[in-house]
Structure 1
């Protein structure tokens, strides 16, 4: 029986069907013992334009420079967000933080407006955020932008040294249902299951953040992004 299986595998490798099976397997993600079906990758930023992205509040804190998305701060926190919304997905991007005192992040399943305390509608970016920066040891954990605190429980906010300031870092995010997993440079950082956050934010835009600083004139280039891509998944 083993001999028969071995012969079959040799035939498969040498046949024209091998490339087909390899391509088919690429559509399946194996995560913590579960199987997810993945669609094709969609390039959100290809280094040539900001097509498909919108700046929050007409800010100019994000620019296309040297085939990168470069964010610099003003006195206010600003965002660059996708025109398209996503629900369950795998997201990958490269990020470099140029200033050790700087804070950035990438919003996922994010909403763009809400009612304030007076019941008035106003522009607001709020939802789960993959934190990046200032305290590099917390990069990769999930902050509740506009929700006054972390979605990641405090006891799970364990400091690490995976995020390297001044260098390119590869970040991967897998969001399926109430579960959000993050990796930095190939190492898993967060594995969060938050039913309340998922109920509130089941889908939304992807948004890049540049945090406001006290003396923006002293800081020129803070954070850069490249190789941003996403693929939708389903169980």
Structure 2
């Protein structure tokens, strides 16, 4: 009886260890920004709009986009959770793109933009999916760090600010988009930070991603 019970316990332990070992690596957080340099990132038409200061990427200057081109997932993400700490300055407008791709200039033609804007004249506020599922109430204040989290699973996109859900959007099987936004659909791709205009200053730090299996 004792030996039989011991054997059952050992089998259960081995099963638990095997399940743990088989846990997908996608569940672990991986940093995208080292806090010191822009290694792994590439800026488009106006590289001077981005600099690293006090452990953060400071975005201010003419229109430009800073694309992640690093080694994590070969900078190609489909299902994931992205988390950033963000601080907007008064009157700032920026955004975080996902499922996008490098382009030399212009607003990214591919992927979705998660708006970052708590007080600028554009009424679309932080956490909304720009021009798809907009948010019109600022969920955070200027000059205060907040956490922005984006989770994409299949056709479902959710955004959170300080763990408060802002958007829960499921893309239709055949989404209708205007011609100038035909690329605003789910696929796969990289991330990009937006420099919107010279009067907009936004800081990003502790940028990390958790690929989902």
TM-score (norm: length of structure 2): 0.74
Give unpaired runs (5+ residues) of structure 1: 1-16, 29-36, 114-121, 144-149
Q: Distance in 2 between the 1:206 and 1:161 partners?
A: 23
Give unpaired runs (5+ residues) of structure 2: 1-12, 70-74, 176-182
User: Aligned pairs, how many?
Assistant: 179
SS in 2 for 1:151: coil
Give the one of 139, 147, 151 matched to 1:170.
Answer: 147
Give the one of 26, 35, 38 matched to 1:47.
Answer: 35
Aligned to 2:92: 102
Shift of 1:166: 1.1
Change (3 A) 1:201 1:112: farther
Question: What is the root-mean-square deviation of aligned Cα atoms in Å?
Answer: 2.9
Alpha carbons 2:128, 2:135 under 8 Å: kept:
no
Q: Distance in 2 between the 1:104 and 1:158 partners?
A: 14
The 5 A counterparts of 1:1-235 are 38-74=26-62, 77-83=63-69, 84-99=75-90, 101-113=91-103, 123-124=105-106, 125-126=108-109, 127-133=111-117, 134=120, 138-143=125-130, 150-152=131-133, 157-195=134-172, 196=174, 200-212=185-197, 216=198, 219=199, 222-234=201-213
Q: Which shifted more, 199-208 or 222-231?
A: 199-208
Following TM superposition, where does structure 1 have runs of at least 4 consecutive aligned residues deviating by more than 6 angstroms? none
